[in-house]
Amino acid sequence: MGSGQTIILGVVQGLTEFLPVSSSGHLVILQHLFKGFNQAGISFDILIHLATLFSVVIYFNKKIKRILFERNFKYVFLIIVATIPAAVIGVLFKDQIEAVFTNVKLVSFSLIFTGVLLFLSDKISYTYKSDNDITILDAVIIGIFQAVSITPGVSRSGSTITAAIFRKINREAATEFSFILSIPAIVGAVILSIDDFQKVPSNQVIPYIAGFFAAFITGLISLKMLTVIIKSKNLKYFAFYCWAVAILTFFIL
């Protein structure tokens, strides 16, 4: 694969990782369309997810500093609790997860599921919990939704934010919790894929780096877009988009 392909994939990753339309689903579709695309395991997918992790750390740096410097152990504990379901699934079913990253039909059905979640979340008008009111049960439920989002086509941001909204957590707190929750999830995925990174050919290093920076820059842009969209309760429009992509993918690819 060339730098042109990796830059396109990086831009798509940066935009769709935070907009609730499933970055992994879009990557599967595009990689299916690109002639001759191949990667060691899912090393490139993980690398550009790592790029968007850096976007999260920079964008939410004030929130992260407050958590660390004020020693908000409760918030850290809730993040750990919410991380456990995805961590267990990732470790136990690593090979099966990699296999479904080539299943385009599964992506179609998963996008429909994502659309349903987004559409229903806009129906929730009364949310009263701040980040200080999040409970262990809230964290467990959000974590289960994150575990489900390992499936390509199920949006991680969309599913975790909507799960939080369903639990009456206000949209700003839901967004912050969702994206800070992505930090250990992505770090864990990188650790599990270390063997894949060692198999990357030397002539693919530059294309990988190009994709990384494309994902990082567009990730920062889409984070700003999403925070505005979440507050305006317009997630249903992304539901329509997910359904349209699902139908096109199912019948065309």
Separation between Cα atoms, residue 185 and residue 138, nearest integer Å: 17
- What φ, ψ does residue 189 adopt, rounded to 5°? -65, -40
Q: Over 70: is that where the pLDDT of 250 sits?
A: yes
For residues 48-72, average pLDDT? 90
For residues 111-133, average pLDDT? 91
**pLDDT score, position 253:** 67
Q: If residue 204 lies in a helix (H) or strand (E), which one and from where to where?
A: none
| Bridge partners, residue 169, by sequence | 129
Q: Over 80: is that where the pLDDT of 234 sits?
A: no
Cα dihedral 65, 76, 177, 219 in deg (nearest 10)? 50
Confidence of residue 134 (pLDDT cuts 50, 70, 90): very high
Q: Over 80: is that where the pLDDT of 11 sits?
A: yes
Q: Over 80: is that where the pLDDT of 78 sits?
A: yes
For residues 118-133, average pLDDT? 90
**pLDDT score, position 202:** 83
Q: Over 70: is that where the pLDDT of 182 sits?
A: yes
* Dihedral-angle region of residue 103 (phi above 0 means left; psi in -120 to 50 means alpha; beta otherwise): beta
State the chain's mean pLDDT as an integer.
Answer: 88
For residues 137-158, average pLDDT? 93
Confidence of residue 200 (pLDDT cuts 50, 70, 90): confident
Give the type of residue at 98.
E
For residues 8-37, average pLDDT? 86
What does the pLDDT look like over 85-100, one tens digit per residue?
Answer: 998 998 888 777 777 7
What does the pLDDT look like over 168-178, one tens digit per residue?
Answer: 999 999 999 99
The number of residues in the chain equals: 253
- Hey, where are the domains in the chain? 3-252
Q: Over 70: is that where the pLDDT of 219 sits?
A: yes
The DSSP code sequence of 86-109 is HHHHHHHTHHHHHHHTT-HHHHHH
**pLDDT score, position 170:** 93
Q: Over 90: is that where the pLDDT of 145 sits?
A: yes
In angstroms and rounded to an integer, the radius of gyration of the C-alpha atoms of the chain is 17
For residues 215-236, average pLDDT? 85
